[in-house]
Amino acid sequence: MTPEKLVYMANQIATAFARLPEDAAVAAIADHIDAFWDPRMRAHLLDLVEAGAPDLSPRVAAAAGRIRKPEAA
């Protein structure tokens, strides 16, 4: 999956939780990604956050610290 597609999908999740207060939205984003994204997608997203992907929602970036890091293969 391309980095642009991952950023797009993560930002869609952030938009879905936009009505929530900051802390609740960040937790909900992380919970959703943990529940529905496969480990490779989570790892790629975390790499993008670490690299400072410019189009990533600030709430997704904040949620990154709560997203389960996949185990190394």
**Structural domains counted in the chain:** 1
Comparing CA positions, the residue from 28, 16, 38 lying closest to residue 66 is: 28
Residue 24, domain member (yes or no): yes
Residue 20's pLDDT is what?
98
What confidence tens digit (pLDDT) does each residue in 26-67 have?
999 999 999 999 999 999 999 999 999 999 999 999 999 999
Residue 72, domain member (yes or no): no
> pLDDT band at 1, cuts 50/70/90?
confident
What confidence tens digit (pLDDT) does each residue in 12-23 have?
999 999 999 999
Residue 16, domain member (yes or no): yes
- What whole-number distance in Å separates Cα of residue 31 and Cα of residue 29? 5
- Domain range for residue 48? 3-66
Residue 73, domain member (yes or no): no
> pLDDT band at 71, cuts 50/70/90?
confident
Q: Global pTM?
A: 0.93
Please give the full DSSP string across 11-66, using - where no structure is assigned. HHHHHHTTTS-HHHHHHHHHHHHHHHS-HHHHHHHHHHHHHT-TTS-HHHHHHGGG
Query: Strand, coil or helix: what is 10?
Result: helix
